[in-house]
Amino acid sequence: MKISDFWRNMEAEFGPRYSHVLADSMALTELDSLTPAEALNKGVKPKQIWEALCRAQDVPVERWLGVDIEPKDS
């Protein structure tokens, strides 16, 4: 996942304004209590951050890939 994909998913899931508030303020325990923005700045992979945020916010798994990407059948 690219950083641009991370932000596209954030804005699609949480809205253009709240996504940035969430990224700057939510401490993710999975990531040593870093906020998503701090984790990005420290070089944590965007996909790891996105998935940690999805788990913390109870985003349904079927929405983890974003609005325009369909999951593959196993």
* DSSP assignment of 7-74: HHHHHHHH-TTHHHHHHHH--BGGGTTB-HHHHHHTT--HHHHHHHHHHHTT--GGGTT-TT-PPPP-
Q: What is the DSSP letter of 6?
A: H
pLDDT at residue 73 is higher than 90 = no
Using CA atoms, how far apart are residues 59 and 38, in angstroms rounded to an integer?
Answer: 21
pLDDT at residue 59 is higher than 60 = yes
Residue spans of the domains in the chain: they are: 3-63
pLDDT digits (tens, 9 = 90+) for 31-40: 999 999 999 9
Q: What is the DSSP letter of 2?
A: -
- CA nearest neighbour of 52 among 23, 19, 29, 21: 29
